[in-house]
């Protein structure tokens, strides 16, 4: 090869690699990092962006050079050169992509293993997805919440399942996503590294109110987390029937579809329940308010409010709720 061309090629290669490194170090298309796993995932992502930049500019540059250098000149009616192949070139364009794939696979495997590595004494949180709400249980403290609270810089091990259809727990700032599948328990670990409030989403279409299946994760200091757990335990012991009914209303996803001011619910998929305690008795002749509400919970297709679709509310609450829970929920709705 011509020495001048060799030097030019080396300079272009160095420029491309420099641009790839610059992109890897400066370009960040991801949301903020709030976990140790997010730092590892983002590092890998930025590396891939750098490699992709080098490949893209190299390939597009070669194409542009070929178009300009070997274009047909005006008035040139001769045949092109008969090129039968170049073994060295073919070996290079097979070896380089293969090497890139191997390196990326190895780096991805390392991130996958490191992000799931266990640490001593993790906090265990059981996550249950149901139409259309997330429920977070803290078995060590016997606390149930619709909002996820986590201590800063302590590993959390999630045990994720579903009560009905397939859901997917997605916490963007943690860079984690795990399906919640009926009949199975999936595990996922995370170590929060930044305090704050961050959104939780369901990333699997799970029904008519899928878009309302949202919650928040609150990352706080160990002291604040312990105080929150203690406050939840005290509230659970002293809240009374009204508190129990309100908690069941939120826990079982009623707030995702129905509006109820006392519970802070603003759902629009189903009818508003404000004032249901005074209007339920007049909905169906022969049924008092308690019977109407109970049948509407156990057999939601029996009485469909005008202007709302049927077949949306799950018919499985009779299996999910104990008699005591059902009674507490009905008492709470009757008080509205």
127 and 231 inside one domain: yes
287 plus 202 within the same structural domain: no
> In this structure, what token pair is assigned to residue 263?
């519970």
Stated pTM of the model: 0.72
Res 329: pLDDT: 86
Residue 48 is assigned to a structural domain of this protein:
yes
- For residues 218 and 262, membership in a common domain is answered with no
Least reliable range by pLDDT among 63-72, 199-208, 219-228 = 63-72
Question: pLDDT tens across 129-173, in order?
Answer: 988 888 899 998 888 888 899 999 999 999 999 988 999 999 999
Specify the CATH number for the domain of residue 260.
1.10.760.10
Task: Judge if 256 and 297 occupy the same domain.
Answer: yes
* Residue 224, domain member (yes or no): yes
Using DSSP's 3-state secondary structure scheme, residue 54 falls into: helix
CB 189 within 8 A of CB 35: no
Residue 226 belongs to domain with CATH number: 2.60.40.420
- What is the distance between the alpha carbons of residues 12 and 224, in angstroms, rounded to a whole number? 55
State whether 181 and 253 are in the same domain: no
Average pLDDT over residues 280-291: 83
Could you tell me the pLDDT band of residue 25, with boundaries at 50, 70 and 90? confident
Residue 237: pLDDT over 60: no
For residues 273-291, average pLDDT:
83
Instruction: Tell me which residue range forms the domain holding 314.
Output: 239-334
Are residues 127 and 224 both part of a single domain? yes
Q: What is the pLDDT of residue 235?
A: 63
pLDDT at residue number 156: 94
* Residue 89 pLDDT level (bands cut at 50, 70, 90): confident
Q: What sign for the dihedral angle of Cα 133, 139, 144, 150?
A: negative
The structural domain count of the chain equals 3
Whether residue 294 is predicted with pLDDT greater than 90 in this model: the reply is no
Is the predicted pLDDT of residue 71 greater than 60, yes or no? yes
Helix (H) or strand (E) holding 334: helix 323-334
- Across residues 90-112, what is the average pLDDT? 91
Same-domain status, 182 and 230: yes
Q: Choose between 175 and 14: higher pLDDT.
A: 175
pLDDT in tens, 303-334: 888 888 777 788 878 887 888 888 888 888 88
Q: Are strands 196-202 and 133-138 parallel, antiparallel or unpaired?
A: unpaired
In a domain, 2, yes or no: no
240-251 and 323-334 are packed helices; what angle lies between their axes, rounded to 10 degrees?
Answer: 100
* Percent share of the chain, pLDDT over 70: 97
Query: pLDDT at position 185, please?
Result: 94
- The answer on 205 and 259 residing in a single domain is no
Tens digit of each residue's pLDDT (9 = 90 or more) over 186-211: 999 999 999 999 999 999 998 877 88
Average pLDDT, integer, range 14-42: 83
Domain closes at, from 235, 252, 283: 235
Q: What is the pLDDT of residue 181?
A: 93
The token pair at 267 is 């759902």
* Residue at 293 is within a domain: yes
Residue 1 has pLDDT above 70, yes or no: no
Average pLDDT score over residue span 244-265: 80
Question: Lowest-confidence range among 64-68, 79-83, 225-229?
Answer: 79-83
Residues with Cβ < 8 Å from 39, sequence gap 6 or more?
Answer: 33, 193
- For strands 259-260 and 265-266, give the pairing: antiparallel
- Same domain? For 157 and 56 the reply is no
Measure the CA dihedral 318/211/124/254, to 10°: -30
Three-class secondary structure of residue 202 per DSSP: strand
Per-residue pLDDT at 187: 92
Q: Do 284 and 228 fall into the same domain? A: no
Q: Which helix (H) or strand (E) holds 127?
A: strand 123-130
In 183-308 the beta strands, taken as DSSP E runs, fall at 186-190, 196-202, 214-220, 259-260, 265-266
Mean pLDDT for all residues in the chain? 85
């Amino acid at each position: 090869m011509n020495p001048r061309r060799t030097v030019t090629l080396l300079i272009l290669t160095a420029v491309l690699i420099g641009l790839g490194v610059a992109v890897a170090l400066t370009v960040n298309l991801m949301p903020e990092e709030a976990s140790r796993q997010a730092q590892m995932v983002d590092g890998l992502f930025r590396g891939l962006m750098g490699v992709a930049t080098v490949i893209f500019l190299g390939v597009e540059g070669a194409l542009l050079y070929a178009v300009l250098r070997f274009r047909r000149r005006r008035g040139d009616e001769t045949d092109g050169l008969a090129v039968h192949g170049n073994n060295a070139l073919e070996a290079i364009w097979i070896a380089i992509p293969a090497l890139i794939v191997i390196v990326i696979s190895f780096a991805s495997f390392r991130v996958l293993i490191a992000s799931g590595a266990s640490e001593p004494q993790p906090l265990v949180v059981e996550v249950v997805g149901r139409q259309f709400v997330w429920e977070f249980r803290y078995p060590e403290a016997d606390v149930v919440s619709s909002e996820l609270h986590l201590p800063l810089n302590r590993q959390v091990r999630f045990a994720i399942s579903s009560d009905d259809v397939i859901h997917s727990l997605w916490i963007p700032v943690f860079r984690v996503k795990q399906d919640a599948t009926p009949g199975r328990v999936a595990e996922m670990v995370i170590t929060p590294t930044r305090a704050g409030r961050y959104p939780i989403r369901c990333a699997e279409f799970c029904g008519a109110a899928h878009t309302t299946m949202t919650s928040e994760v609150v990352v706080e200091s160990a002291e604040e987390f312990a105080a929150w757990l203690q406050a939840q335990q005290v509230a659970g012991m002293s809240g009374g029937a009204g508190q129990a009914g309100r908690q069941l209303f939120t826990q079982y996803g009623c707030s995702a579809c129905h509006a109820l001011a006392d519970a802070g619910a603003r759902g629009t998929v189903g009818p508003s329940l404000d004032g249901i305690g005074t209007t339920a008795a007049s909905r169906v002749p022969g049924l008092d308010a308690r019977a109407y509400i109970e049948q509407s919970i156990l057999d939601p297709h029996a009485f469909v409010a005008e202007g709302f679709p049927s077949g949306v509310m799950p018919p499985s609450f009779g299996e999910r709720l104990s008699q005591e829970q059902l009674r507490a929920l009905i008492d709470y709705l009757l008080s509205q």
